[in-house]
Amino acid sequence: MISEAPPSPALVRRNTILLAATLTCLSGMLQLVVAVSTITLVLVTGIESILGLGPAVFLASSAVAALPAGKAMDRWARVPVVAFGCVLGVVGCVVAAAGSGLESAPLVLLGFVMIGGSSGTVLLVRAAAADLYPPERRARGISYVLFGSLFGAALGPLVFRPLLSGRHLDSGGLVIPYLVAAVIMVVGLCIVLQVRPDPKVFAARTALAHPDAAGGSSVPLAQVLARPGTIAAIIAAVTSFAVMVSVMNLAGYVVVGHGHAEEDIFTVISFHIIGMYSLVLVIGDMIDRIGRMPALVGGLVVMAVSALGLGWHSSVLWTSFCLFGLGLGWNVSYVAAAAHLSDVAAPSERGRLIGFTDLLSGFAGAGLALAGGAAYTAFGVLAIALGATVIALAPIPLMLARREQPAVA
């Protein structure tokens, strides 16, 4: 029996911190995968033309995992599903380490599949974050949890960079970094298991405490998608995520291609993650104030400008600056889209809707990573810069045509 008393602020705060710390661990693991996934397969196989395959496998696996994980969250609970995602990350990193040491491309790809599944599952903590907060504070609540990813950005320079610094990079040299990433996800598993009660319980209590919030039983996904503004939010979420992850995953190879040291990859990726999360607390409050649609459009514009800048100069500092801007623009669009999708969905629908959006986003990102890898091999970094700019701006007219405001849930 669920009590009608509103959730305790102290308990909400505690669970928010634990969910944020879980994302810290995921972010730390992804620091390594994002930085070296392109390089790993090239080193193992010796085939440069497949540099986009590693990120594509990772992103496609993340997409495939998102929808069933979201459905499982809605049917049962949030914490067990996120915990399973952490376990998948641990196993995936160990398998990728084995594949690197044995120079086995199938093992490396299997590891990337598991790591992608882990990412797609654990990132659904956005649904758990939305459960903890009422509609008028939902963007801020989601931003509080996402803020944890910022601390994961420090693991690149502090942990992974020293492991690779001063070494000639070969596949065997990646074994220890992948095993360290596995340990980080073990910590994430221990943290998320401390979240009590499950955030889905908070969602029910919040709905009872806020009679204006829409509740009710789950309805078919098609009906949820038909609610005002939902398609516009999904378009923004898919576009911003696909552009961001495709450029981010190719950035490591671009940095090395400019003649910089392999350890410089972590500097660039760290700046990118700082852009993604450093201002998230301010951005969440801004989105609650100005509305979802202006934030969705504004974020895509910032991403387009930042992507275009990649073709301007090749220094580590400039590339880091552009990746920072790309992360910042994504942050605005991502939080706004997550808040909107949480607004239009009841707690029993929320995981499924966000999982469906992540499904589309992951496949779009995988496609762009493959296309971007081929474009970079054939035409250089300018092709990535121009292509990402055009794709980021393209959906804005359609989004503005579908800018109806939702009824919040």
Q: Say whether pLDDT at 234 is over 50.
A: yes
Per the model's pLDDT, the better-predicted residue between 168 and 298 turns out to be 298
Specify the range with the lowest mean pLDDT, choosing from 25-29, 39-43, 296-300, 351-355. Answer: 39-43
What is the predicted pLDDT for the residue at 204? 63
Please give the angle made by the CA atoms of 359, 360 and 366, to the nearest 5 degrees: 90
User: pTM of the full predicted structure?
Assistant: 0.77
With respect to residue 184, please indicate whether it lies within any of the assigned structural domains. yes
Mean pLDDT of 400-409: 58
How far lies 244's CA from each of 108, 261, 312, in Å? 23, 23, 18
Q: Say whether pLDDT at 357 is over 90.
A: yes
The mean predicted confidence, pLDDT, of the chain is 82
User: Cα–Cα distance between 141 and 357 in angstroms, integer?
Assistant: 20
Before 197, cis peptide (omega within 30)? Answer: yes
Structural domains in the chain (count): 1
What is the predicted pLDDT for the residue at 156? 62
What is the predicted pLDDT for the residue at 216? 46
Supply the CATH number for residue 318's domain: 1.20.1250.20
Q: Say whether pLDDT at 289 is over 70.
A: yes
Residue range of the domain that includes 113: 9-401
Q: Say whether pLDDT at 132 is over 50.
A: yes
How far lies 172's CA from each of 45, 101, 156, 169, 188, in Å? 13, 5, 19, 8, 26
The fraction of the chain above a pLDDT of 70, given in percent, is 83
With respect to residue 4, please indicate whether it lies within any of the assigned structural domains. no
Mean pLDDT of 213-217: 45
With respect to residue 79, please indicate whether it lies within any of the assigned structural domains. yes
Q: Give the pLDDT confidence of 173-186 residue by residue, as tens digits.
A: 788 888 989 999 99
With respect to residue 1, please indicate whether it lies within any of the assigned structural domains. no
The winner for highest mean pLDDT among 6-10, 36-40, 59-63, 178-182 is: 178-182
What is the predicted pLDDT for the residue at 185? 95
What is the predicted pLDDT for the residue at 208? 46
Per the model's pLDDT, the better-predicted residue between 37 and 207 turns out to be 37
With respect to residue 91, please indicate whether it lies within any of the assigned structural domains. yes
Other CB atoms within a 10 A radius of the CB of residue 315 amount to 11
With respect to residue 375, please indicate whether it lies within any of the assigned structural domains. yes
Q: Which of 287, 352, 333, 332 is nearest to 138 (CA)?
A: 287
Upper half-sphere CA count for residue 372 (Cβ side, 13 Å): 34
Q: Say whether pLDDT at 253 is over 90.
A: no
Q: Which of 248, 273, 271, 285 is nearest to 373 (CA)?
A: 248
User: Cα–Cα distance between 2 and 280 in angstroms, integer?
Assistant: 32
With respect to residue 409, please indicate whether it lies within any of the assigned structural domains. no
What is the predicted pLDDT for the residue at 298? 93
With respect to residue 188, please indicate whether it lies within any of the assigned structural domains. yes
User: Cα–Cα distance between 74 and 127 in angstroms, integer?
Assistant: 10
Mean pLDDT of 252-281: 74
